[in-house]
Structure 1
Amino acid sequence: MKKLFCLMLLLPLALLAQEGAENTVLANKKNEFRVDVLSAIVYAKASLSYERFFGKDWSTGFNVNFSNSNKLNDDFDKGYRNNVPKFEFNPYLRYALSKSKSRYYFAEVFGSYNGGDYKEIIRLTDEVGNDYYTTKKSKYTDFGLGGSLGYKMYFKDSIALEFIVGFGSNLTNRDKSPDVISRVGLNLGYRF
């Protein structure tokens, strides 16, 4: 038990000793590509990101999502939901909240250009004058703004693991698009 306790005390010191060298190596690498493994597994959504680092604590990038989930499409067809998102393009600006380059918290603001399918029930009148209801499907596109918080860590000076949670709101087509947009993910990436 004492050995385990001593190991737990020494582990943070060993990580801090390596951090100085990692910060220099990571500062020279300015580009990063990531894949969201959580969205792929849970939502059947392809989510790819690119990030460019500049300055000391700032970075910018974009995220692209494409979705064709059978569960969401079935819920849409059965009437459990009136819209189903199909694509998103999310440019973002990030600020690192921690001083370490190899493990840090960050805050970001993001925009979202998104679109998908929308379904509504409408009332029509036939030639005789009888009213009836039918379902009308259409497409929607919208633009939204939001914010996120996350944590990122690097392994072997290049492999990134990132967890992000963020929410925003669509602004322009709120009668058809989802009210809330989200950025939740567990990303695996490569920095070069």
Structure 2
Amino acid sequence: MKKILVALLLFYGIVNAQNESTISDKKNEFRVDVLSAILSSKISVSYERFFTNDFSVGLNVNYSDSKKLTEDFEEGNTNNLGKYEINPYVRYALSKGKTSYYFAEVFASYNGGDYKEIAREENGGTAIYTTKISNYTDIAAGGSLGYKMYFNESIAVELLVGFGYNFLNTDKSPDKISRVGINLGYRF
């Protein structure tokens, strides 16, 4: 009986150790942001490459063509309409778990969209106000905090909150950009 119990404990330890090392062997992850898709009709996909248990780099790409955001822009509720973002990032795990952990992220953002302004034009001694729409592009830097957990060593659920500031074209681009999302992914 003791031999069977020892054999079962040994077998459980080997299987458990293999499960922990299996997730470490998977170095790539692909994710989709479901929160952005539901709330703002934004397509947001990410790829992440793991170098160690604590360190990874990735790329996030966003594209938005939301009817609600376009209506707000056209009605004058906002003067910026963000269309796209490309966000390279570097992450560091703050906790030591392999299947669930907190992380900190530093990111850059190349972002662009439409900008609307009311311009005054002189027309034969009278002033006419017109609405002009132009494009903007800008670069931002920022940081994020998040939590990630894995199910069955491959299915990832990630919560992310972060903010950054544009610094090149601030007269047309929004001052702040956000990285907020609930992502579902697959690690392979």
Q: Same fold (TM over 0.5)?
A: yes
Corresponding residue pairs, total: 174
1:91 equivalenced with 2:88 (yes/no): yes
Q: CA deviation at 1:23?
A: 2.7
Structure 2 residue identity aligned to 1:119: K
Q: Secondary structure at the match of 2:169?
A: coil
**Other-structure match for 2:157:** 161
| Contact residue 53 and residue 98 of structure 2 kept, 8 A | no
In structure 1, distance between residues paired with 2:149 and 2:87: 22
Structure 2 unaligned blocks of 5 or more:
1-14
| Contact residue 66 and residue 86 of structure 1 kept, 8 A | yes
In structure 2, distance between residues paired with 1:160 and 1:20: 20
In structure 1, distance between residues paired with 2:145 and 2:80: 27
Please, what is the CA RMSD of the aligned residues? 1.2
| Contact residue 23 and residue 100 of structure 1 kept, 8 A | no
| Contact residue 19 and residue 100 of structure 1 kept, 8 A | no
Structure 2 residue identity aligned to 1:140: Y
In structure 2, distance between residues paired with 1:160 and 1:62: 16
In structure 2, distance between residues paired with 1:135 and 1:89: 29
1:44 equivalenced with 2:41 (yes/no): yes
Identity of aligned residues (%): 64
1:112 equivalenced with 2:109 (yes/no): yes
TM-score (norm 2): 0.90
After TM superposition, the runs of 4+ consecutive aligned structure 1 residues lying more than 6 A away are none
| Contact residue 22 and residue 101 of structure 1 kept, 8 A | no
Q: Secondary structure at the match of 2:98?
A: coil
Q: CA deviation at 1:31?
A: 0.2
TM-score (norm 1): 0.88
Q: Select 2:141's aligned residue among 127, 142, 145.
A: 145
| Contact residue 19 and residue 102 of structure 1 kept, 8 A | no
Structure 1 unaligned blocks of 5 or more:
1-17
| Contact residue 142 and residue 170 of structure 1 kept, 8 A | yes
| Contact residue 59 and residue 93 of structure 1 kept, 8 A | yes
| Contact residue 150 and residue 164 of structure 1 kept, 8 A | yes
1:26 equivalenced with 2:23 (yes/no): yes
In structure 2, distance between residues paired with 1:100 and 1:25: 14
Q: Secondary structure at the match of 1:189?
A: strand
CA deviations on 1:14-59 (whole Å, 9 max, x unpaired) are: xxxx975443111000000000000000010000000000023100
| Contact residue 58 and residue 96 of structure 1 kept, 8 A | yes
Structure 1 residue identity aligned to 2:122: T
